[in-house]
Amino acid sequence: MNDHRYDLSEEEAAELAAKVAAGALALDDAEPGWYWKLDFNTLDMTHGWQCVLGQLYGVFSHGLKDLKWSEEKADEMGVYIHNSADMPHNEWIARYAELQECWIGEAADRLSTRLLNSL
């Protein structure tokens, strides 16, 4: 057993999923078709160039600027974990891994809906 692993509670996972859902809706308005532009093979929510905003806008900070989002807003939209410097590393890893899975789910749902509607 790995004593350093952090397991998110159901409530924590649900909170992150809700944030990502809000972020996905915001991107539907700001960047229609955003889900077509993601490379799931390289998506890495901990990396400024490979996260959702990094892949859409070139780098995370450019996405914040273009969307006019603060770090707090980015947290609300599920693309950033605000105040994570105070968080234990294993919890940080678990939270970003959950965000990544949620973003993949949101994008996959949109892709499958569009593909099925085109048949």
Range of the domain at 28: 10-117
Tokens linked to 56: 């859409």
Q: How many domains does the chain fold into?
A: 1
Residue 100 is assigned to a structural domain of this protein: yes
- Is residue 5 one of the residues assigned to a domain? no
Residue 75 lies in a domain: yes
pLDDT at 115: 73
Whether residue 82 is contained in a domain is answered as: yes
Residue with tokens 């749902």: 109
Query: How many other C-beta atoms can be found within 10 angstroms of the C-beta atom of residue 45?
Result: 25
pLDDT of residue 3: 52
What pLDDT does residue 1 have? 41
Residue 110 lies in a domain: yes
Q: Is the pLDDT of residue 39 over 80?
A: yes
- Mean pLDDT of the residues in the chain: 92
Q: Which of the 8 DSSP states describes residue 34?
A: G
Quickly list DSSP for 80-117: --TTGGGS-HHHHHHHHHHHHHHHHHHHHHHHHHHHHH
* Residue 1, domain member (yes or no): no
- Reported as a single tens digit per residue, the pLDDT across 40-92 is 999 999 999 999 999 999 999 999 999 999 999 999 999 999 877 788 989 99
pLDDT at 47: 94
